[in-house]
Structure 1
Amino acid sequence: MAIMTSIRATVVVPTFDHGPLIELAVNSALRQSVPVEVFIIGDGVPEGHKPFLRKLAAQDPRVRFFDHPKSPGRGERYRHEALLQARGEIICYLCDRDLWLPDHVAQLLHLLQNADFAHSLPLHLLPDQTLFFPLDLAHPAFRDQVITHGNRIPLSCAGHTLNFYKRMPEGWSDTPHGEPTDWHMFRKFLRLAECRCASGTLPTALTFPSPPRKAWAPETRMLELQAWQARIASPVEQQRLMLQLLQMAIRWRDHHIAGFFPA
C-alpha cells in the first residue's frame, strides 16, 4: 500500500469503455518520479467495467474513481467537478489508453514554474508511423494557429496550474457539437491574454490514438500497450527511446522547415 505524501500533481483520467487498458495508463501515472493523485473520471462506464475500476481505486489510496452516468458529451462537467477536489499544484491529463514516461509530471512541473498552461512534445504513435506536432506556444503565431486552425496538443501531453484554472471565467464545460472536447478547453486558456504558455521539447507522453485501431480486438490493443510498458520500465530502454524519438522529431521538424523554404 502506497503512503500518501505531499501531492504535487492531480492526474485526471477520463474514461468510458476502454476497459483494462486503463490499468496500464494509471500504472504509468503512479510510477511518476513525483507524488501524484489520480482521478479516474467515469462517463457512463459500462457496469461490467466498474468492479475493475473500483478495484484499482481500492488497491492504492492515491487513486479515486468518480462514477457518473453517461453525459450528453464527454463528461466535461464531471472533470470540472473533480478539479474542485484536487490537491495537486498542477493538473495533468492522461487518456485511458496512453502511457507516460516516469518524468512526465516532473517535466510539466518544471515548465509550469513560469507558465499557467504547458505541454510535453506532442506526438502520436500510429500503427505504421510516429507523428510529431512541433510548436512553441510562447510565440503568438503558434498560439494563434492552435486557436484558429485546430488542436495540436494531445490530452495526455497537457497540464496547467490549479490556481490559474480556478481563476478562469469558465473551466471544463459542454463542448459545442462537432468540436473536439480537448481543443474546446485548451482554447479557453490560449484566448486569455494573461495566460502564460510553455511548450516542452521532450517526448514524455506516448499517445495511441483510437481511430487507426478501430478494427483491433481489445486483446491486440492490450498487447501493444504491454510491449511499450515493458520497454519504458527499464531506465536504459527509456533513454534509448527518448533518443530515438528526439531524433525522429528533429527530422520531422527539418522536413517541415524545408517546406517553408523550398529550393
Structure 2
Amino acid sequence: MLPIVRPPAMLPYAVRSVQDQTVTDWELFIILDGAPPETLAVATALAAADPRIRVRPFAKGERNGEAHRHVVLGEANGRYVAQIADDDLWFPRHLAELSLLLADVDFGNLLQCEIAPDGRPTILYGDLASIKTRKAIMTKPVSFFGPSCAGYRREAYDRLPVGWSPAPVGIWSDLFMWRKFLALPDLRAATRFSIEAAKLESPVRRHLSLEERVAETAAMAEQIATVDGRSEIRTQALRNATWVKAPNSPPTWPARERVRRLWRVFRDFE
C-alpha cells in the first residue's frame, strides 16, 4: 500500500523503489486520501504503465485516512502486507527481507533508517521479539518503526477485531495499529536486523521547499541504486544508532555491544 494526501512530487521515486524490488510478484495500491487532482493524474499514469499498480481515490478521511487502507486490503490478493510512504524509499531487497521475516512470524519490522535533512542516517533500534519491548509499546508512547519498515501476514490482519481505523487523538496512527496486532493471542512478532529503507520524514523538513525535497529524494534514490551507496548508508546509520526504550527504563545491554552485534549482521550483507 502507498497512501498519499499531498501533491505527487515524490511519488514517482517511491513507486520506482517498489518497481526495483528483487521480488517482482507484488501488487501496489496507491491510496489517495483526498489528494489533489494532479496526484490522481500522476498515479493513474504510473498504473497505466505497470499493471501491478492500482489507484484507489477517496475523499479525505478522518486522521490519516486509515479506514481507506482497510477498504483497500479487502481487495488485496497477497499473503504478506507492506506499506511505503510517498516520501520514503525502499532498497531493492526490502520485500525479500520482509518475506524472510514473515515466513516465521505474523507481524514484524526491519530496522528503521531515518535520514536527517543534513543527510545523516540513523537507525532506530528495538526488538519486537522482546517481551519488555512489546509491553512498552502497549503501555507507553514508544515506537521504533513506522509503516514503511513494517510487514504482516494477511491472515494475522484478518484476525483483528478492527483493522486499520482512525487513531484516537493523542496516539500515533502506526502505534495504534501496532497495538492491535500485539494484543492478538499467540501473535508471533519479531524484528529482522536489516536496513532496507530510507525514511525522509516530512515533520523535520517543513523548512524545505518542495523543489528542495524533490532534489533530496532524487539524490537519495540515486545513492540507493548502487551497492556501494547502500553500504555507505548502512555504515553511517550503524555509527549513529539510537536505541528506543521506554521512558526511564535503562538499556538491557551496553550500547557498544549493540553496535558490535549489529555490525556483525551487516558487514558482509551485500
The interval holding the TM-score normalised by the smaller chain is: 0.7 to 0.9
Report the Cα offset of residue 49 of structure 1.
Answer: 2.4
Task: Please state how far the C-alpha of 1:90 moved relative to its aligned partner.
Answer: 0.4
- Amino acid in structure 2 at the alignment position of 1:38: L
Letter in 2 for 1:119: N
What is the RMSD of the two structures over their aligned residues, measured on CA atoms? 2.0
TM-score, normalised relative to structure 2: 0.85
Q: How far did residue 200 of structure 1 move?
A: 1.3
| 1:241 partnered with 2:233 | yes
The offset of 1:182, in angstroms, is 1.0
Alignment of 1:68-79 (within 5 A): 68-79=58-69
More displaced 10-residue stretch of structure 1: 220-229 or 146-155 = 146-155
* 1:36 and 2:26 correspond: yes
Alignment partners' CA distance in 2, 1:246 and 1:31: 24
Q: Deviations over 1:182-232 (max 9, x none)?
A: 111111011223111010111111101111101211110011011011111
> How far, CA to CA, are the matches of 2:146 and 2:48 in structure 1?
29
Pick which of 103-112 and 237-246 moved more: 237-246
Q: Which residue of 2 aligns with 1:9?
A: none
**Cα distance in 2 between the residues matched to 1:217 and 1:195:** 43
> Is residue 2:177 matched to residue 1:185?
yes
Residue 264 of structure 2: aligned partner: none
Unaligned runs of 5+ in 2: 244-250, 257-270
Separation (CA, whole Å) in 2 of partners of 1:181 and 1:146: 13
Contact 1:123 1:154 in 2 (8 A): no
> Any idea what SS the aligned residue of 1:131 has?
strand
How far the C-alpha of 1:247 sits from its partner, in A, is 4.4
The 1:18–1:208 alpha-carbon spacing in structure 2 relative to 1, beyond 3 Å, is farther
| Deviation string, structure 1 residues 100-129 (Cα, Å, up to 9, x no partner) | 000011101001111000111123111244
Output the TM-score relative to the length of structure 1: 0.87
- The reply on whether 1:226 has 2:218 as its aligned counterpart is yes
Match of 1:107 among 83, 88, 97: 97
Residues 1:121 and 2:108 are matched in the alignment: no
Distance in 2 of aligned mates of 1:225 and 1:19: 13
Mapping 1:74-93, distance limit 5 Å: 74-93=64-83
Aligned counterpart, 1:8: none
Confirm or deny: 8 A CA contact 1:116 1:197 kept in the other structure.
yes
Change (3 A) 1:233 1:189: same
User: Equivalents in 2 of 1:259, 1:118: separation in Å?
Assistant: 23
Residue matched to 1:47: 37
The number of residues matched between the two structures is 246
Segments of 5+ residues of structure 1 without an aligned counterpart are: 1-11
Whether contact under 8 Å (2:109, 2:151) holds in the other structure is yes
